Amino acid sequence: MKKLISLLFFGLIQSAGFSQQTQSLTLDSCRKMALEHYPVSRQAGLFTEIHNFKQESAHRGYYPQLYLNGQASWQSDVTSLPVNIPNIEIPSLARDNYRISLDINQLIWDGGSIKSQQAIDFTTLEINLTEVEIENLKLTEAVNQTYFSILILKESEKLILLAMDEIQSRLTKVRAGIANGAVLPANADVLDAELIRHEQTLIDIRFNRNAAIYRLNELTGLNPDASTVLILPEYHDMPDLDQWQRPEYQLFDLQKIQFDNQQQMIGLKLMPRFSAFSNLGYGRPGLDMFSTSFEPFAMLGLRLSWNLWDWNITGRNKSITGIQKQITDTRKQVWEINQRILLNNYKQEILKIENQLAADHRIVALRTSIAASSAAQLEQGMITSSEYLTEQNALTQANLILGVNKIMLQRARLNYLTTMGFTK
């Protein structure tokens, strides 16, 4: 008796130690870790860094531009005066010329091009960040599907193992009948074949489960294994179709804003541009073309640049961006249609599973009553223990099927919520 108590106590300690080591995960923790672990999220910071560089570069367009220019040349002929003035010698110009200068250009007004480019760059940043948000939503959907795949595969494994136990129990009984000559050997062959088929299904389930666990590990970095307990989340409130929170809506709007920015930028190409310039240099000749010596020189001035006519290139480019804006509208409409179809599919799936669950609850209630009745019959000797176990296994199987459908219902509700853009 003491030995039995010691064994039981040791078993309880082992069980407690094992339960402490067992890892449990929630879907929210997996999604949070995926957003931190997966490389996509880091793109947001990189896009912001690129934007800051672009903004600074565009702003420096207002700074003066300095150019150092140098030139040395030889020419075959020079300017000369075809007259002879007594007692005055007119020197001939040098055929070799040398010049080095510092040229400074200062923009005064560019027609608004720099500000327009900065607006384009800012909208580009918003588009890039929204695209990262869309990729993160896809990542969340991948984590959702993987998480629920593991849950369903684990429940399916329980169902297969239960069915195999039932077949093995019947096979033992049939073999006893064969040994007594009461049952044909072919009956055992049928059960053996069914047992092998279930073993194949079990192998397939376990391989798929291991693949899903590996996928969850790659997405989250949490290192789950086959013993990891996944907590089933529950969702109840289903939002209406007018409560969209998908980032694609913002993306389509930003793309249209970008086309407006581009149209504005195109129109600015016909605006005049004013700038100041100066040239400070040293060379031969200087500004005096008839001088044959090296001299310093300087020049200050204003410059106007204005494209008065571009053969309607600007108008056509504006028309192109207008058409691209219309294409964006059609893409948005196509996306909305596909999303509504997808949402309706999920909604119908939710209704179907809810009806199945109602039937599952009735089946469990009936199986519970049958199992209780069989227990009473077993105590009275009216049925064998094998028949009693058959009814108990049927009750267990009904409960497992109920559990699988509960998981599938929560998955369908989560798919609906995620498609709507709800990720919390």
Tokens representing residue 10 in the block: 């040791």
How far, in Å, CA of 90 to CA of 45, rounded?
Answer: 71
Q: Identify which has the larger pLDDT, 314 or 15.
A: 314
Helices (H), 221-270: 247-267
User: What is the helix, strand, coil percentage profile of the chain, to 5?
Assistant: 65, 10, 20
Secondary structure of residue 100 in the 3-state scheme: strand
Could you give all domains of the chain from N- to C-terminal order, each with its CATH number? 30-70+94-292+329-420 (1.20.1600.10)
Ranking 16-20, 118-122, 289-293, 370-374 by mean pLDDT, the lowest is 16-20
Q: With bands split at pLDDT 50, 70 and 90, how would you rate the model's confidence at 232?
A: very high
pLDDT of residue 83: 66
Q: With bands split at pLDDT 50, 70 and 90, how would you rate the model's confidence at 331?
A: very high
399-403 CB contacts, 8 Å cutoff, 24+ apart = 399/364, 400/155, 400/158, 400/159, 400/162, 401/159, 401/360, 401/363, 402/357, 402/360, 402/361, 402/363, 402/364, 403/155
- Which pLDDT tens digit goes with each residue over 352-393? 999 999 999 999 999 999 999 988 887 787 887 778 888 888
Q: Given a cut of 50, is residue 114 above it in pLDDT?
A: yes
Q: With bands split at pLDDT 50, 70 and 90, how would you rate the model's confidence at 424?
A: confident
Q: Given a cut of 80, is residue 235 above it in pLDDT?
A: yes
Q: Identify which has the larger pLDDT, 408 or 181.
A: 408
Cis peptide before 296 (omega within 30 of 0): no
Q: Given a cut of 90, is residue 293 above it in pLDDT?
A: no
Secondary structure of residue 274 in the 3-state scheme: strand
Helices (H), 26-184: 27-37, 43-59, 113-179
Q: In which element (H, E) is residue 366 found?
A: helix 313-379
Phi/psi for 413 (5° steps) reads -65, -40
Within 13 Å, how many C-alpha atoms sit on residue 293's CB side?
Answer: 2
| Mean pLDDT of all residues belonging to the chain | 89
Q: With bands split at pLDDT 50, 70 and 90, how would you rate the model's confidence at 271?
A: very high
Note the pTM of the prediction, 2 decimals.
0.84
pLDDT of residue 299: 95
pLDDT of residue 376: 87
Q: Given a cut of 60, is residue 13 above it in pLDDT?
A: no
Closest CA relative to residue 258, chosen from 121, 112, 114: 121
pLDDT of residue 10: 39
Name the residue type at position 280: L
How far, in Å, CA of 279 to CA of 21, rounded?
Answer: 79
- Which pLDDT tens digit goes with each residue over 142-184? 999 999 999 999 999 999 999 899 888 888 888 888 888 877 8
